[in-house]
Structure 1
Amino acid sequence: MTVSQQRSLLTKIPGPRSVELLARSRQAVARGVGITLPVFIERAGGGILVDADGNHLIDFGSGIAVTNVGNSAERVVAAVQEQVARFTHTCFMVTPYDGYVSVCEALNRLTPGTHEKRSMLVNSGAEAVENAVKIARAHTGRDAVVVFDHGYHGRTNLTMAMTAKNLPYKDGFGPFAPEVYRVPTSYPFREPVPITGAEAAARAVGAIEKYVGASNVACVVLEPIHGEGGFVVPARGFLPAVAAWCRENGVVFVADEIQTGFGRTGDMFACSAEGVVPDLITLAKGIAGGLPLAAVTGRAEIMDAAQVSGLGGTYGGNPVACAAALGAIATLEELDLPARAREIESIMLPFLQDLAERHPVIGDVRGRGAMLAIELVDSAGVPDPVTTAAIAKACHAEGLVVLTAGTYSNVLRFLPPLVIPLDLLHEGLGILAKAFDGR
C-alpha cells in the first residue's frame, strides 16, 4: 500500500495545520455542515487516514461505511483513471454508455433473489430511497409509505419525513412530505418485556392495519439493521415476518441497505442473513469505493412500472462513478470481503463483550460483521450521551477515528474498512479499551 499501515501521531489531534484549515472552513462552509473530528485528510489507504499534519490515524469509520474496499483501492483507482481519460459525462439519458449498463447488470446479479430484475442509478442514498418510493407508488397506485422507529433514510424533504430522529436531521426544516407513517420496530435492548421477532412484527403490522390500512400502503421501507438509529439489530424473525405481510397484502417491501450493503455485515447484503428477498433494495455508500453513486434494484415488473423518463437525473450513474463501482465490486468478490467482515466480527465482538463485562456503562453490544456498536447507559439504563461523547473524544485524541450514533446519541459505532490490517484492528481496540479504563 502507498500509505504506511502504522498509527503515528506527530502532533496533538487536531494539529496546527488542521486547526488552520478549520478556521478557513468556518469562513467558507455553511455552519450547518457538521464535522465529527476536525482533522483534514490528505491521503488514505487500508486502515489509515493521513492528515495535513502528517498524523496517521486508524480508521474505524470508513467514511460512514463507504470505503469497504479501502481508500484508493487499486482496481477502483485504475478504473477511475482510465474512465476520466476517456470522458467524464454525457448524461445516460442523452447519450448512454456501457458502464451504467454493466453496473446495473452486476447489481441485478448480486442482490438477493433469482427473479428477473432491473436497476436504476442515482447519486445518493436519499435519492435512491425517494426513487424507490416513486416506483412503489407507480406500481401499486397507492400513496402511503410505512417506516419504523429509529430508522434513517436521508436528508431530503421526503426522506426527512421518513427519518425518525429529530435533531439534527429534521428540527426546523418542516413541513415534511405527507403520507409517511411510523410504526414500532424491534429493538431488543429497549423492549420493556422481551419479545420475539415475530411478536415485534405482529405489533408493527397491527399498527399499520389499525392506523393506515393495508390497502393504502404502497411500500414498507426497512433497514435490516438500523444504521444511524444505533446499529439496532431486530430480533430474528422480525424481517421475514414483515416481508411476508407485505407479500400477502400487495405492498412493496423495500430493504434500505444503504449502510449495510456490499459485504459490510458478513453477507453481501444484510437481508440475506434471514433469507429475505426484498421487492426493491436501495444501495449506496459501499457501492463505488468512495465515489458518489447509488441505486435502486428490484423485481422487473415493479421497476418497470414508472413511465418512460419518470426516473433519472442529470448526474445519475456518472461514468466515472460507474467505473469505480465496477472496480469496487470486483475487489469485493476477488478478496471475498464479506468473509473478511465475518473475521473482523470474530475479533471485535468478543473484545467488546469482554469490555462490557468490565464496564457496566456499556449496556449492550450488538451488530454483525464489521458493523458493530456499543450502547452506553447509566446505572438505571438511561441513555448516556455525555459519556459516549467523552469516549469518542478520548479515542480521537489517540488517533482512532470512531463515530457516534443512535436516536439518543449514546451509541459508539465501529465500521472499519474490510481491508484493514488485523494488527491495526487490534491496536484500535486497545485504544478503545484505554479510553474506557481511563475515564
Structure 2
Amino acid sequence: MSNATRILIALALGLTLGIIAAAQLPKVGDTMAYWLDITGSLWLNGLRMTVVPLVVALLVTGIVKSAEAARAGPMAARTVAWIVAMMTLSAAMGALLTPLFLTIWPMPAESAEALRAALTTAPAVAEQPALRDFIVALVPTNPIAAAANDSILPLLIFTLVFAFAVTRLNQEPRAQMAGFFSALADAMVIVIEWVLKLAPIGVFALAFVVGERSGLAALGALGHYIVTMSMVGIVIGAFAYPVAVFAGKVKFTDYARQIAPVQAFAVSTQSSLASLPLMLKKAEALGVRESTAGLVLPMAVALLRVTGPAMNLAVALYVANWFGVQLDGFDYAFAIFIAALTSMGAVSLPGTVSFVTSIAPICLALGIPVEPLALLIAVETLPDIFRTTGNVQMDVALATAIEAPEKEKANAVSQPG
C-alpha cells in the first residue's frame, strides 16, 4: 500500500471516528481532540521547518540549471523562454480561475464556518502593513531575519538576486555553489520524506479534531475542494491543445489521437518522468525530430510543470477564501510571482513534497493560514491526476511548438526560389 493511500485512509478514519465521538461520547471526544490536536500540530511543524531552507535551495539550483540550459544553444534558450512564459501564465490563470469558480460555486457557508472553528491552531489573519512599509520591506536588510520570521517575499527576492549572481561566477565556483545548494535541497527532501512517513499519524490526528469539532461539514468541504482544484487543472491542461495547433502547427485530431495514450499512462503512473519514453515516441509521431524531442522533452520534465503554478495558487486562494482573508491587487500580483517562482524550483520533487514547499510560501507571504494544508495534502491524490495529465499534454505540445520554426527554416532552405 502506498503512503498516499495510507494518508487517505487515515483522513477518512480520523473524520469518521471524530464525528462518531462527537455524537456518542462528547466528553471523551473533547479530551481526545485536545491531545490529538497537539500531535497533529507537531507533525505540521515538522513539515513547516523544512520549507524555508528547501525553497531557497531549490530556487538557487533551479535558476543555475536554467541558465546553464539556456547556454546550450538557441533551441535550449528558446525552450527555457517558453517554460518561463508558460509558468507565469499558468499562475496568472490560477489567479483568475479560482475566484471565478468560487463565485460560481462557493463553499457552503456552514462548512467554511465549521472548519474555521475546528482548526483552532490556525492563527488570526494579520493586519496588512501600510503600502509604504510593505514596499520598503520587499528588500530585506537582513535575509537571515527574513527567513526566521517567515517573511517569504523579501527572502525570495534576495534569493533571486543571489541566484543570478551565482550564474555570473566562473565555472568552478559556480559548480561548487550549485553543488552545495543541490545537496541542501536533497537533505531537506529526505527530512520531508521522513516527516511524510508519519503523515498517516498526523493526518489522522488532525482529521479526528476536524471531525469532532465540525461534524459532517468537513466531508462536504473536502469534496468541494477536490472538484474546484480539479477544474483548475483541467482548464490549464486544456491549453496544450491550442499550443500544439497554433504554435506547433499540427492538426487538432492528430494531436488528440497521439496524446491520448500519454494521458492514460500519466493517469496510471501519476508521473511525468515515467511518461517520458512514451512522450518521446508520440512527439516524433507528430513530426517532431528525434533531436528536438530528445532536447526539449527532458528539459520540460525537469523544468516545466505547467499546472503547478495555477493549482498551487488555487490552493492558497481557496484557503484564503475559506478563512476570509481579503486580498487586493498587490497581493494577487505577488502571489502570481511567488507561485511561478516556487513551482519552477519544485518541478523535480514528488507531488506530496512539492505540495507543501510550493504552496506554503504563497500562504506565508500573504498571511494565509498554512494549517489547512495538512488536511488538504491527504486528498491531493485526486487533483494530482489532473496535474500530471495536464503536464504531459503541455510537454508534448511544447515540443511541437519548438519544432515548428525549425521546420519552417528547413522548408525555406529546401525551396530557395
Same fold flag (TM > 0.5):
no
Larger strand proportion of the pair: 1
Relative CO higher for 1 or 2, CA cutoff 8 Å, sep ≥ 6?
2
Larger Rg: 2
Larger helix proportion of the pair: 2
